[in-house]
Amino acid sequence: MKFGVFDHMDRAGADLGRQFEDRLRLIELYERAGFHAYHLAEHHATPLGMAPSPSVFLAAVAQRTTTLRFGPLVYTLNLYHPLRLIDEICMLDQMSGGRLELGIGRGISPYEVGYYGVDPATGPERFAEALAVILQGLTQPRLMHEGRFFTFKDVPMEMQPVQRPHPPLWYGANSLDSADRLAQQGCNAVVGMKADGVGQFAARYRAAWASLGRDPAAMPMIGLSRHIVVGDTDREAQSAAKRAYALWYDALIHLWRAHGVGLPRQMIPADFEGALDGGYIVAGSAATVRERLKRDNEIAGINYCICRLAFGDLSFEESARSVELFASEVMPAL
């Protein structure tokens, strides 16, 4: 079992500069605590994502850490010109000595891509073409491509990543059907379902991996992401978590509410108690968190436990205490 951190970088207050600095200080703690990687979301025109250019923030992460792996979860490929993104990927991998984890996706919000003039209806096709171009550009000395959205004729690829053929790929999965494709691609997956649904996904992924004749020991990571707040008592941790979760959820639905519609997949409960019961958020003393994660991780069949340790208006001190208790009293038992 490895442990990672996922971060929406949702708005924490009026002072954005302080938020960035506090988060970088936390990321230094993640490294010292033994987390495998830090994963940063990309969102636009919404308080859900105050790091709309993940590469900019991750460049700072590269300089504040030495062993922690990091990356976007995910780059919204449909909002990038492939040549520009190839360069950014290579630069981050070079600047970090080969620590980039490359999350890719097409974006869940039609409003965010729409603001950029991208037709959401073309999303799947555009994403597939952009990904093919990017992977070719990362692995070949010259780029040749002719497609519906992009055409490149003998473009020299001066930049290269440290990791060959390219940094590890990550994808946010929300359906069982995607397990076969992701196994074929050798892609790490973070699964947006409850523990029992993740368990079904993991079993299908492993079966697909085995059917390809691949080494079980080399199987990519399958992760489940949850909000985590660890405190000295259940009451203390759950009080802080409830307060912060309300603000995070308000940011989550911000654009959908502004357009008068609900979330496309109403999987995450709006009320804190429902989220706590369903395991979307795990909050309490170290013993409470440890036992809940033990149970859910076994049901989910995961090998990667992803924590959201900073969200809503949790202070640096509250998140830092969670990291300290999680690392000393929860991680060793898992």
Q: Which secondary-structure segment (H or E) carries 94?
A: helix 82-95
Average pLDDT, the chain: 96
Instruction: Give residue 268's pLDDT band: very low, low, confident or very high (50, 70, 90).
Output: confident
Return the pLDDT at 108: 85
- CA–CA dist 332, 19 (Å, integer): 30
Assess contact for 6 and 37: CB atoms under 8 A. Answer: no
- CA–CA dist 154, 79 (Å, integer): 23
Partner residues linked to 308 by β-bridges: 227
Helix (H, G, I), strand (E, B) or coil at 263: coil
pLDDT tens for each residue of 25-35: 999 999 999 99
**pLDDT greater than 90 at residue 258:** yes
Structure tokens at 293: 């994660």
**pLDDT greater than 90 at residue 265:** no
**pLDDT greater than 70 at residue 330:** yes
- pTM across the whole model: 0.97
Helix (H, G, I), strand (E, B) or coil at 138: helix
pLDDT tens for each residue of 291-306: 999 999 999 999 999 9
Return the pLDDT at 263: 83
Return the pLDDT at 259: 94
Instruction: Give residue 219's pLDDT band: very low, low, confident or very high (50, 70, 90).
Output: very high
| Number of C-beta neighbours around residue 173 at 10 A | 24
Return the pLDDT at 262: 83
Instruction: Give residue 238's pLDDT band: very low, low, confident or very high (50, 70, 90).
Output: very high
pLDDT tens for each residue of 51-61: 999 999 999 99
- CA–CA dist 160, 27 (Å, integer): 26
Q: What average pLDDT does this structure show over 124-136?
A: 97
Instruction: Give residue 216's pLDDT band: very low, low, confident or very high (50, 70, 90).
Output: very high
- CA–CA dist 40, 51 (Å, integer): 8
Q: Which secondary-structure segment (H or E) carries 202?
A: helix 195-211
- CA–CA dist 200, 204 (Å, integer): 6
pLDDT tens for each residue of 146-193: 999 999 999 999 999 999 999 999 999 988 999 999 999 999 999 988
For residue 12, what are the CA distances in angstroms to 8, 38, 50, 90, 288? Answer: 11, 18, 9, 31, 26
Return the pLDDT at 152: 98
Assess contact for 104 and 128: CB atoms under 8 A. Answer: no
Q: Which of 161-175, 232-246, 262-276 has the lowest mean pLDDT?
A: 262-276
User: Residue 133 burial (CB < 10 Å; 0-12/13-18/19+)?
Assistant: buried
Structure tokens at 48: 């859900």
Q: Which residues contact 20 (CB under 8 A, 6 or more apart)?
A: 57, 60
Q: What average pLDDT does this structure show over 201-206?
A: 97
Judged by phi (left if over 0) then psi (alpha if -120 to 50, else beta), residue 312 lies in left
**Chain centre distance of CA 231:** 24
Structure tokens at 153: 């004729």
Domains of the chain: 2-73+169-333 (3.20.20.30)
Instruction: Give residue 266's pLDDT band: very low, low, confident or very high (50, 70, 90).
Output: low
Three-class secondary structure assignment of 22-81: HHHHHHHHHHHHCCCEEEECCCCCCCCCCCCCHHHHHHHHHHHCCCCEEEECCEEHHHCC
Return the pLDDT at 234: 98
Q: What average pLDDT does this structure show over 223-240?
A: 97
Q: Which residues contact 222 (CB under 8 A, 6 or more apart)?
A: 188, 189, 191, 198, 201, 202, 205, 301, 302, 303, 304
Q: What average pLDDT does this structure show over 114-132?
A: 95
